[in-house]
Amino acid sequence: MAQARHGGVTVSYQDRGPRDAQPLVLIMGLGGSGASWYRMVPHLEGDYRLLILDNRGTGGTSDPPLHRPLQLADMVRDVVAVLDDAGVDAAHVHGISMGGMISQQLALRHPERVRSLALGCTTAGHRLGREQPPWRLLAGGVLGPVDPRRSWRIVEPALYARRTIEERRDRIREDLRVRAGERLGIRTVPAQLMAAAGHRAHDRLQRLADTPVTVIHGDEDRLIPPGVGRDLAARIPGAQFVELDQCGHVMSTDAEQRYAEVLRAHLARAERG
Protein backbone atom coordinates (compact mmCIF):
# COMPACT_ATOMS: atom_id res chain seq x y z
CA MET A 1 0.00 0.00 0.00
CA ALA A 2 1.17 3.50 -0.85
CA GLN A 3 0.48 6.52 1.35
CA ALA A 4 -0.23 10.12 0.45
CA ARG A 5 -0.06 12.84 3.09
CA HIS A 6 -1.57 16.30 3.34
CA GLY A 7 -2.28 18.56 6.30
CA GLY A 8 -1.62 15.86 8.88
CA VAL A 9 -3.84 13.33 7.07
CA THR A 10 -2.55 10.02 5.75
CA VAL A 11 -4.41 8.53 2.78
CA SER A 12 -3.72 4.88 2.02
CA TYR A 13 -4.12 3.69 -1.55
CA GLN A 14 -3.28 0.88 -3.93
CA ASP A 15 -1.33 1.62 -7.11
CA ARG A 16 -1.96 -1.31 -9.45
CA GLY A 17 -1.59 -2.10 -13.11
CA PRO A 18 0.85 -0.86 -15.78
CA ARG A 19 2.50 2.45 -14.85
CA ASP A 20 2.33 3.64 -18.45
CA ALA A 21 -1.41 2.92 -18.79
CA GLN A 22 -4.18 5.48 -18.47
CA PRO A 23 -4.83 6.17 -14.76
CA LEU A 24 -8.22 5.34 -13.24
CA VAL A 25 -9.15 6.41 -9.71
CA LEU A 26 -11.67 4.18 -7.88
CA ILE A 27 -13.58 5.70 -4.95
CA MET A 28 -15.74 3.43 -2.80
CA GLY A 29 -18.99 4.29 -1.06
CA LEU A 30 -20.11 4.52 2.54
CA GLY A 31 -17.96 2.61 5.04
CA GLY A 32 -15.94 0.79 2.40
CA SER A 33 -12.18 0.75 1.90
CA GLY A 34 -10.37 0.13 -1.35
CA ALA A 35 -10.54 -3.60 -0.65
CA SER A 36 -14.23 -3.50 -1.59
CA TRP A 37 -13.26 -3.08 -5.25
CA TYR A 38 -12.06 -6.70 -5.29
CA ARG A 39 -14.54 -7.84 -7.94
CA MET A 40 -13.76 -5.04 -10.39
CA VAL A 41 -9.97 -5.02 -10.16
CA PRO A 42 -9.47 -8.16 -12.30
CA HIS A 43 -11.57 -6.59 -15.06
CA LEU A 44 -9.46 -3.42 -15.14
CA GLU A 45 -5.91 -3.78 -13.87
CA GLY A 46 -4.49 -5.30 -17.05
CA ASP A 47 -5.33 -2.20 -19.09
CA TYR A 48 -5.39 0.68 -16.61
CA ARG A 49 -3.25 2.06 -13.83
CA LEU A 50 -5.60 1.79 -10.87
CA LEU A 51 -5.38 4.19 -7.93
CA ILE A 52 -7.71 2.71 -5.31
CA LEU A 53 -8.34 4.82 -2.20
CA ASP A 54 -9.19 3.91 1.35
CA ASN A 55 -11.78 6.51 2.33
CA ARG A 56 -11.58 8.40 5.61
CA GLY A 57 -11.80 6.10 8.60
CA THR A 58 -11.30 2.91 6.57
CA GLY A 59 -8.26 0.79 5.79
CA GLY A 60 -5.04 2.69 6.37
CA THR A 61 -6.49 6.20 5.99
CA SER A 62 -6.80 8.64 8.87
CA ASP A 63 -10.04 8.81 10.84
CA PRO A 64 -12.53 11.68 10.40
CA PRO A 65 -11.55 14.84 12.29
CA LEU A 66 -12.53 15.12 15.94
CA HIS A 67 -12.82 18.90 16.16
CA ARG A 68 -15.34 19.43 13.34
CA PRO A 69 -17.68 17.46 11.04
CA LEU A 70 -16.19 15.54 8.14
CA GLN A 71 -16.99 17.12 4.77
CA LEU A 72 -16.88 15.82 1.21
CA ALA A 73 -14.32 18.56 0.57
CA ASP A 74 -11.97 16.71 2.94
CA MET A 75 -12.29 13.56 0.88
CA VAL A 76 -11.80 15.51 -2.34
CA ARG A 77 -8.50 16.74 -0.90
CA ASP A 78 -7.65 13.11 -0.14
CA VAL A 79 -8.11 12.21 -3.82
CA VAL A 80 -5.99 15.15 -4.96
CA ALA A 81 -3.26 14.11 -2.52
CA VAL A 82 -3.26 10.60 -4.02
CA LEU A 83 -3.00 11.99 -7.56
CA ASP A 84 -0.10 14.21 -6.49
CA ASP A 85 1.66 11.39 -4.65
CA ALA A 86 1.28 9.08 -7.66
CA GLY A 87 2.57 11.76 -10.04
CA VAL A 88 -0.67 11.81 -12.03
CA ASP A 89 -1.81 15.13 -13.49
CA ALA A 90 -5.28 13.92 -14.54
CA ALA A 91 -7.15 10.62 -14.37
CA HIS A 92 -10.40 8.93 -15.23
CA VAL A 93 -12.48 8.80 -12.06
CA HIS A 94 -15.10 6.24 -11.04
CA GLY A 95 -16.98 6.56 -7.79
CA ILE A 96 -19.98 4.67 -6.47
CA SER A 97 -22.62 5.90 -4.04
CA MET A 98 -20.84 8.32 -1.67
CA GLY A 99 -17.77 7.84 -3.86
CA GLY A 100 -19.83 9.18 -6.76
CA MET A 101 -20.58 12.28 -4.72
CA ILE A 102 -16.88 12.75 -4.02
CA SER A 103 -16.19 12.27 -7.74
CA GLN A 104 -18.69 14.99 -8.68
CA GLN A 105 -17.17 17.40 -6.19
CA LEU A 106 -13.67 16.59 -7.44
CA ALA A 107 -14.64 17.31 -11.05
CA LEU A 108 -16.36 20.57 -10.08
CA ARG A 109 -13.53 21.80 -7.85
CA HIS A 110 -10.60 20.47 -9.88
CA PRO A 111 -11.76 19.93 -13.48
CA GLU A 112 -8.17 19.86 -14.73
CA ARG A 113 -7.54 16.65 -12.73
CA VAL A 114 -10.46 14.67 -14.23
CA ARG A 115 -10.36 13.10 -17.71
CA SER A 116 -13.77 11.47 -17.42
CA LEU A 117 -16.38 10.52 -14.83
CA ALA A 118 -18.21 7.25 -14.32
CA LEU A 119 -20.80 7.75 -11.60
CA GLY A 120 -22.36 4.62 -10.11
CA CYS A 121 -25.56 4.39 -8.04
CA THR A 122 -25.22 7.95 -6.85
CA THR A 123 -27.03 11.26 -6.65
CA ALA A 124 -26.71 14.99 -7.23
CA GLY A 125 -27.97 15.46 -3.69
CA HIS A 126 -31.36 13.76 -3.40
CA ARG A 127 -32.60 12.02 -0.32
CA LEU A 128 -32.16 8.28 0.13
CA GLY A 129 -34.88 5.96 -1.11
CA ARG A 130 -38.02 5.82 1.03
CA GLU A 131 -37.91 2.01 1.17
CA GLN A 132 -34.54 1.97 2.91
CA PRO A 133 -34.23 4.94 5.30
CA PRO A 134 -30.86 6.17 6.64
CA TRP A 135 -31.37 4.50 10.03
CA ARG A 136 -30.64 1.14 8.43
CA LEU A 137 -27.24 2.27 7.16
CA LEU A 138 -26.44 4.11 10.37
CA ALA A 139 -27.35 1.14 12.57
CA GLY A 140 -25.45 -1.27 10.37
CA GLY A 141 -22.44 1.01 10.13
CA VAL A 142 -22.18 1.68 13.85
CA LEU A 143 -22.44 -2.04 14.56
CA GLY A 144 -19.99 -2.95 11.79
CA PRO A 145 -16.74 -2.59 13.78
CA VAL A 146 -18.21 -4.73 16.58
CA ASP A 147 -20.23 -7.42 14.78
CA PRO A 148 -19.77 -7.38 10.98
CA ARG A 149 -22.12 -10.32 10.36
CA ARG A 150 -25.02 -8.81 12.26
CA SER A 151 -24.30 -5.45 10.63
CA TRP A 152 -24.45 -6.98 7.17
CA ARG A 153 -27.82 -8.61 7.90
CA ILE A 154 -29.20 -5.18 8.81
CA VAL A 155 -28.03 -3.43 5.64
CA GLU A 156 -28.47 -6.35 3.22
CA PRO A 157 -32.03 -5.42 2.09
CA ALA A 158 -30.83 -1.97 1.07
CA LEU A 159 -27.88 -3.19 -0.95
CA TYR A 160 -28.71 -6.22 -3.08
CA ALA A 161 -31.14 -7.24 -5.80
CA ARG A 162 -33.80 -9.79 -4.94
CA ARG A 163 -32.21 -12.47 -7.11
CA THR A 164 -28.91 -12.14 -5.25
CA ILE A 165 -30.58 -12.34 -1.85
CA GLU A 166 -32.69 -15.34 -2.82
CA GLU A 167 -30.40 -17.32 -5.13
CA ARG A 168 -26.80 -16.09 -4.87
CA ARG A 169 -26.06 -15.80 -1.19
CA ASP A 170 -22.53 -17.09 -1.75
CA ARG A 171 -21.71 -13.72 -3.32
CA ILE A 172 -23.10 -11.88 -0.32
CA ARG A 173 -20.97 -14.07 1.96
CA GLU A 174 -17.90 -13.18 -0.12
CA ASP A 175 -18.66 -9.47 0.34
CA LEU A 176 -19.04 -9.99 4.07
CA ARG A 177 -15.67 -11.75 4.29
CA VAL A 178 -14.00 -8.81 2.59
CA ARG A 179 -15.77 -6.21 4.69
CA ALA A 180 -15.04 -8.10 7.91
CA GLY A 181 -11.34 -7.89 7.09
CA GLU A 182 -11.36 -4.13 6.59
CA ARG A 183 -10.62 -1.58 9.30
CA LEU A 184 -13.70 0.52 9.98
CA GLY A 185 -13.48 3.21 12.62
CA ILE A 186 -16.33 3.47 15.12
CA ARG A 187 -17.03 7.08 14.01
CA THR A 188 -16.61 6.43 10.31
CA VAL A 189 -20.12 5.67 9.07
CA PRO A 190 -21.91 8.45 11.04
CA ALA A 191 -19.26 10.96 9.91
CA GLN A 192 -19.45 9.86 6.27
CA LEU A 193 -23.26 9.92 6.32
CA MET A 194 -23.21 13.50 7.58
CA ALA A 195 -20.70 14.46 4.90
CA ALA A 196 -22.81 12.85 2.17
CA ALA A 197 -25.93 14.59 3.49
CA GLY A 198 -24.28 17.92 2.68
CA HIS A 199 -23.77 17.01 -0.99
CA ARG A 200 -25.58 19.43 -3.31
CA ALA A 201 -24.45 19.67 -6.93
CA HIS A 202 -27.70 20.10 -8.89
CA ASP A 203 -27.13 23.64 -10.14
CA ARG A 204 -23.43 23.19 -10.96
CA LEU A 205 -23.44 20.00 -12.99
CA GLN A 206 -23.77 21.84 -16.30
CA ARG A 207 -20.12 22.81 -15.80
CA LEU A 208 -19.24 19.21 -16.67
CA ALA A 209 -20.36 19.66 -20.29
CA ASP A 210 -16.82 19.09 -21.58
CA THR A 211 -16.22 16.01 -19.42
CA PRO A 212 -17.22 12.55 -20.72
CA VAL A 213 -19.71 11.23 -18.14
CA THR A 214 -21.55 7.93 -17.80
CA VAL A 215 -24.07 7.37 -15.01
CA ILE A 216 -24.59 3.68 -14.14
CA HIS A 217 -27.48 2.49 -11.97
CA GLY A 218 -29.18 -0.74 -10.96
CA ASP A 219 -32.86 -1.10 -11.76
CA GLU A 220 -33.54 -2.56 -8.28
CA ASP A 221 -31.54 -0.05 -6.27
CA ARG A 222 -33.71 0.58 -3.21
CA LEU A 223 -31.21 2.85 -1.48
CA ILE A 224 -30.80 5.38 -4.29
CA PRO A 225 -33.60 4.65 -6.78
CA PRO A 226 -32.77 4.57 -10.51
CA GLY A 227 -34.88 7.67 -11.17
CA VAL A 228 -32.34 9.60 -9.11
CA GLY A 229 -29.58 8.38 -11.44
CA ARG A 230 -31.60 9.40 -14.49
CA ASP A 231 -32.04 12.87 -13.02
CA LEU A 232 -28.31 13.11 -12.36
CA ALA A 233 -27.49 12.19 -15.95
CA ALA A 234 -30.08 14.64 -17.29
CA ARG A 235 -28.39 17.49 -15.45
CA ILE A 236 -25.01 16.83 -17.10
CA PRO A 237 -24.85 17.87 -20.77
CA GLY A 238 -23.93 14.90 -22.96
CA ALA A 239 -23.96 12.35 -20.13
CA GLN A 240 -25.00 8.77 -20.86
CA PHE A 241 -27.27 6.82 -18.53
CA VAL A 242 -27.04 3.02 -18.34
CA GLU A 243 -29.42 0.91 -16.23
CA LEU A 244 -28.38 -2.61 -15.23
CA ASP A 245 -31.06 -5.32 -15.04
CA GLN A 246 -31.63 -7.32 -11.84
CA CYS A 247 -29.15 -5.10 -10.05
CA GLY A 248 -29.33 -3.31 -6.74
CA HIS A 249 -26.93 -0.90 -5.04
CA VAL A 250 -23.90 -3.20 -4.99
CA MET A 251 -23.48 -3.44 -8.75
CA SER A 252 -20.27 -5.48 -8.66
CA THR A 253 -22.06 -8.28 -6.80
CA ASP A 254 -25.44 -8.22 -8.54
CA ALA A 255 -24.27 -7.61 -12.13
CA GLU A 256 -20.48 -7.96 -12.17
CA GLN A 257 -19.91 -8.78 -15.85
CA ARG A 258 -22.35 -6.24 -17.28
CA TYR A 259 -21.09 -3.55 -14.89
CA ALA A 260 -17.50 -4.17 -15.97
CA GLU A 261 -18.50 -4.04 -19.64
CA VAL A 262 -20.30 -0.72 -19.20
CA LEU A 263 -17.37 0.77 -17.30
CA ARG A 264 -14.85 -0.36 -19.91
CA ALA A 265 -17.09 0.99 -22.70
CA HIS A 266 -17.21 4.35 -20.93
CA LEU A 267 -13.43 4.46 -20.63
CA ALA A 268 -12.98 3.54 -24.30
CA ARG A 269 -15.43 6.28 -25.31
CA ALA A 270 -13.60 8.81 -23.16
CA GLU A 271 -10.25 7.86 -24.65
CA ARG A 272 -11.59 8.29 -28.19
CA GLY A 273 -12.60 11.80 -27.25
- Whether residue 147 is predicted with pLDDT greater than 80 in this model: the reply is no
pLDDT for 179 equals 86
Percentage, residues of the chain above pLDDT 70: 90
* Helix, strand, coil distribution of the chain in percent, nearest 5: 45, 20, 35
What would the pLDDT profile of 121-133 be if each residue is shown by its tens digit?
999 996 544 444 4
pLDDT range class, residue 140, cuts 50, 70, 90: very low
Helices and strands per DSSP (H, E), number in the chain: 11, 8
Predicted pLDDT at 50: 98
Average pLDDT over residues 198-206: 94
pLDDT of residue 136: 45
Rounded mean pLDDT of 31-51? 97
Looking at residue 92, what is its pLDDT?
A: 98
Residue 81 · residue 4 · CB < 8 Å: yes
Domain positions in the chain: 2-272
Confidence of residue 273 (pLDDT cuts 50, 70, 90): confident
C-alpha separations of 182 from 54, 76, 78, 144, 197 in Å? 10, 22, 19, 10, 24
Region of poorest pLDDT, from 112-116, 144-148, 172-176, 193-197: 144-148
Is residue 191 predicted with pLDDT exceeding 60?
yes
Contact by Cβ (8 Å): 268, 115: no
Mean pLDDT (the chain, rounded): 91
Cα dist from 233 to 34, 118, 262, 265, whole Å: 26, 11, 15, 17
In this prediction, residue 75 carries a pLDDT of 98
Q: What per-residue confidence (pLDDT) applies to 149?
A: 61
Task: Give the class (CATH, top level) of 2-272.
Answer: alpha beta
Confidence category of residue 180, pLDDT binned at 50, 70, 90: confident
Query: How far from 75 is each of 9, 61, 65, 186, 214, CA to CA, in Å?
Result: 10, 11, 12, 18, 22
Q: What is the largest CA-CA distance in the chain?
A: 47
State the pLDDT at residue 154: 73
| Mean pLDDT, rounded, for 144-166 | 76
Compute the average pLDDT of residues 159-180.
Answer: 94
Give the integer Cα–Cα distance in Å for 190 and 193. Answer: 5
At 209-268, the pLDDT tens digits run 999 999 999 999 998 999 999 999 999 999 999 999 999 999 999 999 999 999 999 999
Q: Summarize pLDDT for 87-131 with one digit per residue, the tens.
A: 999 999 999 999 999 999 999 999 999 999 999 999 999 654 444
Query: To the nearest whole percent, how much of the chain has pLDDT over 90?
Result: 80
Q: Measured between alpha carbons, how far is 270 from 118 in angstroms, rounded to an integer?
A: 10
CA-nearest of 249, 200, 205 to 224 is 249
Q: CB-based contacts of 273: which residues, under 8 Å, 6+ apart? A: none
Q: Determine the average pLDDT of the residues in 167-186.
A: 91
